[in-house]
Amino acid sequence: MSGDAKTLLVTGGSRGIGRAVALLAGERGWRVAVNYAQDEAAAAQTVATIEAAGGEAFSVRADVAREADILAMFAAVDARWARLDGLVNNAGVVDVPARVDEMSVERLSRMFAINITGSFLCAREAVKRMSTRHGGKGGAIVNLSSAAASLGSPGQYVDYAASKGAIDTMTVGLAREVAAEGVRVNAVRPGIIDTDIHASGGLPDRVAQMRDMVPMKREGTALEVAHAILYLLSDEASYSTGAVLDVTGGR
């Protein structure tokens, strides 16, 4: 692969949507840093799949709820490639279904530390490397929102929905802040997607239960979301910033 190939950091890149993004980016010539928090084997498998197809990738462990981990992750990308052209802020969590009047401060602190603060800090570090104000050559950030941001997820994940609403607002504000500095910032808002995030939130059958509520009458795939993300990262979206693209089957 050419030494001047663009480089991409995907947080939460070892599974689900993040893995799909990493694999598709590798196919399209990006060098990919695959972040993971715990599952080293899954991250290694993602890297191996990219490399087997002729791409270049490496894995880097970091818990995005920890600033020190984030700084070390970006330093690892610096050391490996000395440039950063794209960031996909994908790492995020849900929790078990609960009403707001049942939520603990520990649950809320974890949710917001990973989904909001982690995304802000990763965006901060990316801007420091991409922005012409900081000597960079420009780049693109894509944040992962959710249809929950507009639906609210009552009785299940109001905290998760609120965290993704914050991502929508951050996307628009940051996009306008760095628009004249060569950095584009957009978001995708997935709906019901067939990944294991539902099981991690205690609802392994949620996709099947929600299918008929989607106007298209089917769930989406991680690859369908990845295609939207790769479009927003690409030069084909060169005049798009501050956009939030729904990938929801019409929901």
pLDDT at 202: 58
Residues with Cβ within 8 Å of 49's Cβ and at least 6 positions away in sequence, in order, are 23, 26
Q: What is the pLDDT of residues 68-89, one digit of tens each?
A: 999 999 999 999 999 999 999 9
For residue 221, is it within any domain?
A: yes
CATH classification of the domain holding 109: 3.40.50.720
Q: Helix, strand, coil % (nearest 5) of the chain?
A: 50, 15, 35
The encoded tokens of residue 3 equal 């030494």
pLDDT at 213: 85
Q: What is the pLDDT of residues 14-46, one digit of tens each?
A: 999 999 999 999 999 999 999 999 999 999 999
Note whether 115 and 164 are within 8 A (CB): yes
Q: Report, as residue numbers or ranges, the catalytic residues.
A: 160
Domain that holds residue 149: 7-247
For residue 65, is it within any domain?
A: yes
Distance CA 207, CA 24 (A): 24
Q: What is the pLDDT of residues 118-135, one digit of tens each?
A: 999 999 999 999 999 999
- If one counts the domains in the chain, the total is 1
Q: How many helices (H) and strands (E) does the chain have?
A: 10, 7
Calculate the alpha carbon distances from 206 to 133, 197, 212, 217 in Å.
45, 10, 11, 14
The encoded tokens of residue 98 equal 């609960």
pLDDT at 208: 78
pLDDT at 99: 97
For residue 56, is it within any domain?
A: yes
Which residues of the chain form beta strands (DSSP E)? 7-10, 31-36, 57-61, 86-89, 139-144, 183-190, 244-247
Output the furthest CA–CA distance in the chain (Å, rounded). 54
Calculate the alpha carbon distances from 46 to 39, 41, 53, 108, 157 in Å.
11, 9, 11, 31, 29
pLDDT at 144: 98
Distance CA 183, CA 205 (A): 39
pLDDT at 174: 99
Strand pairing partners for 185? 141
For residue 2, is it within any domain?
A: no
Low-confidence ranges of the chain (pLDDT < 70): 1-3, 196-204
For residue 1, is it within any domain?
A: no
Question: β-pairing, 139-144 with 7-10?
Answer: unpaired
For residue 127, is it within any domain?
A: yes
For residue 22, is it within any domain?
A: yes
- Among 79, 95, 99, 77, residue whose Cα is nearest residue 87: 77
